[in-house]
Structure 1
Amino acid sequence: MSNKSVSVYIPTHNRPLFLERALQSLEKQTYRNFQVIVSDDGSSVDNFKIVQNIIGKYNSSFSDLVLLRSEIPQGACHARNKAIEASDGYYVTGLDDDDEFTSSRLEVFVKSKYLSTYPYLSTGQLVDDGNKRTKSVLYLNKETSLQALLFQNVIGNQVFAEKKHIQEVGGFDENFPAWQDYELWLRLTKHVGSGYKLPYHTYILNISHELNRITNSNKSKMAVDKFIIKHKEILEKKHIQTLYLQDLINRSQRLQVSDLVKYMNFYNVTISIKYMFGQTFPNLKNLLKKIK
Structure 2
Amino acid sequence: MEDLVSIIISTYKRDFELERAIESIIRQTYRNIEIIIVDDNGIKSEYHTRVKEIIKKYTKYNNIKYIVNEENIGGALTRNRGIDNAEGEYIAFLDDDDEYYPEKIEKQIELFKNNKSKKLALIYCYTDSYDEYDKKLNEYRYDYVGNCLFDSMCLCIAATSQWLCKRKALINIGGFNNVPSKQDSTVIIKLLNRGYEVDRVPEILVRYNEHSKERISQGSIKNIKGEEMLRLYCRSLYNNLNTNEIIKVEESFSYRLSKLYIKNNNTSKAHSEMKILKKINIYLWIKVNMYYILKKLRYKAINL
* C-alpha contact (below 8 Å) 1:171/1:184 kept by paired residues: yes
Q: Could you tell me which residue of structure 2 aligns to residue 289 of structure 1?
A: none
Give the structure-2-normalised TM-score: 0.79
Give the CA deviation at 1:250: 6.9
Give the CA deviation at 1:277: 8.6
Aligned-residue Cα RMSD (Å) equals 3.1
Q: Could you tell me which residue of structure 2 aligns to residue 262 of structure 1?
A: 276
Q: Could you tell me which residue of structure 2 aligns to residue 240 of structure 1?
A: 250
Any idea what SS the aligned residue of 2:68 has?
strand
Give the CA deviation at 1:202: 1.1
Give the CA deviation at 1:182: 0.9
Any idea what SS the aligned residue of 1:240 has?
helix
Task: Tell me whether 1:32 sits opposite 2:42 in the alignment.
Answer: no
Task: Tell me whether 1:77 sits opposite 2:87 in the alignment.
Answer: no
The whole-number CA distance in structure 2 between the counterparts of 1:171 and 1:75 is: 14
The whole-number CA distance in structure 2 between the counterparts of 1:80 and 1:12 is: 10
CA shift in 2, pair 1:8/1:209, >3 Å = farther
Identity %: 21
Query: Which of 142, 151, 165 is matched with 1:161 structurally?
Result: 165
Note the residue ranges of structure 1 that are not aligned, 5 or more in a row: 282-292
Runs of 4+ residues over 6 Å off in structure 1: 254-258, 268-281
Note the residue ranges of structure 2 that are not aligned, 5 or more in a row: 239-245, 295-304
Any idea what SS the aligned residue of 2:10 has?
strand
Q: Could you tell me which residue of structure 1 aligns to residue 154 of structure 2?
A: 151
CA shift in 2, pair 1:231/1:21, >3 Å = same
Query: Which of 115, 119, 124 is matched with 2:126 structurally?
Result: 124
CA shift in 2, pair 1:273/1:198, >3 Å = farther
Instruction: Write the deviation string for residues 201-241 of structure 1: whole angstroms up to 9, x where unpaired.
Output: 11111113535643343322222221222232323233122
Give the CA deviation at 1:263: 2.2
Query: Which of 169, 184, 206 is matched with 1:203 structurally?
Result: 206
The whole-number CA distance in structure 2 between the counterparts of 1:279 and 1:127 is: 27
Q: How does 1:212-231 map to 2 (within 5 A)?
A: 213-231=216-234
* C-alpha contact (below 8 Å) 2:254/2:277 kept by paired residues: yes
Instruction: Write the deviation string for residues 54-94 of structure 1: whole angstroms up to 9, x where unpaired.
Output: 2221232x441000011111111111100111011100010
How many residues are paired up? Answer: 277
Structure number having the greater helix percentage: 2
